[in-house]
Amino acid sequence: MQNLKKNKDYLKVIWQKHTSINKEHFNVLKKLDKLELNKIGNIELLEDYHILAEALNKLLGVSHMVEGFTLTSEEKIRSLIFDAVKKMGREKEYNQLIADLTASTFPSFIGEAHNAIVLAAVEYTKHGKKIAKLLKQLEKKYYWLNNGYSCTHYLDADYFMHEINELVKKGITKEMENYAKNYRKILYENKKRKQQLFKELKLSDELIQLLEISDFMAKLQDNRKHVTTITLSYIDNFLAEISKRYNLKHELVRYLIQAEVTEFNLNNLTDQMLEERRAKSIFFYTYESQKEKEPEKRGIVFTGRKAEQMITQLMDEDHGEIHELKGNCASPGKVTAIVKVCRGANEIAKVQRGDILVACMTQPEFVPAMKKAAAIITDEGGLTCHAAIVSRELGIPCLIGTRKATKVLKDGMKVEVDADNGVVRILR
């Protein structure tokens, strides 16, 4: 905020810096595209892995201002909006107005991908099997779409054909088709709607500025997630090759931290050691500045009983008998359905169409389950979080920041998600 007061173009400066780093990052990826990992030596393999990891670290560096802004400003934004709405006697519209005032005016990568699949489905209904070229284009452009931090998935033409068939089976409405065709125009309308509400609600200059910064942060966060999700494919390819060279299971090598990926460590690791880490572990990351501007990165991983004790100390809480949870509305609406709690990507398969997806937070690999869900509830998250953005794109109710939904709610529970009023009611 202080930098913006000094320089009204500060956000443009940040975006230019981020875009420049983005360009450097994709140049690294292009160079790696030319490599055949199975034909290079161990030293080069590990060196190139670290080049990639450091490129990603650099990309993430600038955009970490997103968390700084969100954590310190979100409650203030909500409070100022509530005060403005109350003055106008429109308290009953609060959650809908929050959604309108914080709706993104920039296209999200998930929104772009979803709309591309919808339009491909429209083509399929018109031309039948004559969409092979279109399927290959979707594969080339979005093969990385469901990647996550725990695993990656290469989405081929068959995957996109399956998605198209699901849409056709469900029925493609004219409204869906028009939304997909006019996506960017609708986002522009969001912007106009915001400007209109600024005047209608007589918002203060401070709140207007905060909302404009929030919109920028949503754009920055989405771009960061977009590039990170692509990069995860490259990282996982390296880890797959490393696992072969050092006789370790690929799915376990994913539990290494970057500093551990050295010739010495890899030669002394076993699957059993990593299996313990996968079963239960906690990671502490600190900086110890030994040289000015060159902090030495240090990470400690605890496993087994020690990890269990520390997790219990940090997380244990007696919730007693709870009949409702409160959270923040990310996307309005009201739904009653069955709960499915997903604590990781390995659990999303249990979500059936019409279920309520409950998670600590959502990641790109959760999207297939999110598309099936009737509503989404998360422990964490803010106005620009993944769950908020995707739920708005899908037009389903979403409640974020409940703090304890994954601890209180259980699979099979019937609940009412009243996002309009920020409440989850446990029915049975």
Does residue 96 form part of some domain? no
Indicate whether 422 and 350 sit together in one domain: yes
pTM beyond cutoff 0.75: yes
Indicate whether 220 and 86 sit together in one domain: yes
The CATH number linked to 328 is: 3.50.30.10
Indicate whether 329 and 422 sit together in one domain: yes
What pLDDT, on a 0 to 100 scale, did the predictor assign at position 318? 59
Strand partners, 375: 356
Asked if 14 and 65 count as a contact pair (C-beta separation under 8 A), the reply is yes
Does residue 153 form part of some domain? yes
User: Number of folded domains in the chain?
Assistant: 4
Does residue 156 form part of some domain? yes
Separation CA 62–CA 65 (nearest Å): 7
Does residue 360 form part of some domain? yes
Indicate whether 255 and 229 sit together in one domain: no
Indicate whether 371 and 407 sit together in one domain: yes
Question: Nearest 5°: phi and psi at 144?
Answer: -95, 0
Indicate whether 331 and 419 sit together in one domain: yes
AA letter at 25? H
What pLDDT, on a 0 to 100 scale, did the predictor assign at position 296? 45
Does residue 196 form part of some domain? no
- The tokens of 45 are what? 């393999």
Does residue 281 form part of some domain? yes
Indicate whether 62 and 209 sit together in one domain: yes
Indicate whether 332 and 410 sit together in one domain: yes
What pLDDT, on a 0 to 100 scale, did the predictor assign at position 281? 77
What pLDDT, on a 0 to 100 scale, did the predictor assign at position 264? 95
Indicate whether 236 and 250 sit together in one domain: no
| Average pLDDT per block of 10 residues along the chain, 428 residues long | 77 93 97 96 97 94 85 90 95 88 90 95 87 95 92 95 92 91 92 95 95 93 94 98 97 92 94 88 64 53 79 66 90 94 89 95 88 95 87 91 92 94 91
Query: Tokens 């940090």 correspond to what residue?
Result: 314
What pLDDT, on a 0 to 100 scale, did the predictor assign at position 315? 66
Indicate whether 272 and 306 sit together in one domain: yes
Does residue 213 form part of some domain? yes
Task: Return the closest-CA partner of residue 410 out of 368, 350, 345, 353.
Answer: 350
Indicate whether 330 and 420 sit together in one domain: yes
Indicate whether 231 and 292 sit together in one domain: no
What pLDDT, on a 0 to 100 scale, did the predictor assign at position 202? 96
Segments forming the whole domain that contains residue 267: 246-315
Does residue 95 form part of some domain? no
